[in-house]
C-alpha cells in the first residue's frame, strides 16, 4: 500500500482520473436509477473521486480503503466541503475477522481496484454477504491486457485486467447475474513516446441469491 500512500496527495491532480469517475458515475446512475433511500459502499475508494460524483444519489456512502494516505486526503475533502453522508472505513475487507454487515447495502461499487485483489472468490463472497438481495455490484476495471499497464508500479502482483466472460462465470458462481456489460472509456498511457490505450469495462451485476 506504500505506493498509494505516496501518491495520495497528488492523486487528484490528474484531470483524467476525475473524467473517468464522471463517466462511470453516469453509466451507473443511468442504469441503477438510485434514490436517496439507498445505501452504497465503495471498495477501494482512494480519494473518493467516484463517490464524490455519486454523493447526491444515495442516502449514505461508506468509503473503504486500505491506504491511510488516501483516507487522510479524503477526510480533508469531506471537512472542506461539509459532506454529511460519507462514512470512512480504513480497513481490509479480506482480513480474517473483519466483521461484515450482512444485507446492509443496496449498491457496492469499485473502480480500478479489483485487479489488485488476488483472491477474487473471497472478495465476491464478501460482497454477496454485504448486499441485499436484488442489490447491485458494479465493477469498473481493465479489460485483460498484456501486463504493460503496471510497468511503472514497483512490485505489482495483481491481475493484468480481466477476461469479462470468465469474470461473468465467476460472478455467477457467487450469486450474481450480469445485467450490464459495456466499455465506456479507455485509459491512455505513454510508453517510449507511444500512446497505448487500455479499455475499461463496467459490469453491473444483480445479486440474485
pLDDT at 123: 97
Cα separations in angstroms, 24 against 3, 29, 121? 24, 9, 24
Q: What pairing do the DSSP bridges indicate for beta strands 176-191 and 105-111?
A: unpaired
Cα separations in angstroms, 171 against 146, 167, 195? 23, 6, 33
Query: Is 79 within 8 Å of 73 (Cβ atoms)?
Result: no
Q: Is 161 exposed, middle or buried (0-12, 13-18, 19+ CB in 10 A)?
A: buried
pLDDT in tens, 12-21: 667 898 999 9
Closest CA to 74 of 110, 83, 16, 91: 83
d(CA 108, CA 164): 18
- Asked: is 2-207 a CATH 3.40.50.150 domain? The reply is yes
pLDDT at 8: 47
Residue 179 three-state SS: strand
pLDDT in tens, 101-148: 889 999 999 999 999 999 999 999 999 999 999 999 999 999 999 999
pLDDT in tens, 6-57: 554 564 667 898 999 999 999 999 999 999 999 999 999 999 999 999 999 9
- What is the DSSP track for 22-43? HHHHHHHHHHH---TT-EEEEE
Q: In this model, does residue 5 exceed pLDDT 70?
A: no
Amino acid at each position: 500500500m506504500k505506493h498509494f500512500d505516496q501518491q495520495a496527495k497528488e492523486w487528484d491532480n490528474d484531470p483524467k482520473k476525475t473524467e473517468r469517475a464522471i463517466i462511470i458515475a453516469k453509466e451507473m446512475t443511468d442504469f441503477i436509477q438510485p434514490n436517496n433511500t439507498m445505501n452504497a459502499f465503495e471498495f477501494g475508494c482512494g480519494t473518493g473521486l467516484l463517490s464524490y460524483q455519486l454523493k447526491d444519489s444515495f442516502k449514505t456512502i461508506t468509503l473503504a480503503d486500505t491506504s491511510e494516505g488516501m483516507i487522510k486526503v479524503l477526510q480533508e475533502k469531506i471537512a472542506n466541503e461539509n459532506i454529511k453522508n460519507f462514512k470512512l472505513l480504513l480497513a481490509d475487507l479480506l482480513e480474517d475477522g473483519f466483521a461484515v454487515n450482512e444485507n446492509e447495502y443496496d449498491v457496492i461499487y469499485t473502480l480500478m481496484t479489483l485487479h489488485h485483489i488476488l483472491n477474487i472468490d473471497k472478495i465476491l463472497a464478501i460482497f454477496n454477504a454485504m448486499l441485499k438481495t436484488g442489490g447491485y455490484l458494479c465493477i469498473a476495471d481493465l479489460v485483460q491486457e498484456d501486463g504493460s499497464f503496471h510497468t511503472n508500479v514497483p512490485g505489482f502482483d495483481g491481475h493484468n485486467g480481466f477476461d469479462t466472460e470468465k469474470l461473468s462465470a465467476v460472478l455467477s458462481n457467487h450469486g450474481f447475474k450480469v445485467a450490464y456489460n459495456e466499455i465506456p472509456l479507455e485509459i491512455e498511457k505513454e510508453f517510449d513516446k507511444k500512446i497505448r490505450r487500455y479499455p475499461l469495462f463496467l459490469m453491473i451485476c444483480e445479486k440474485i441469491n
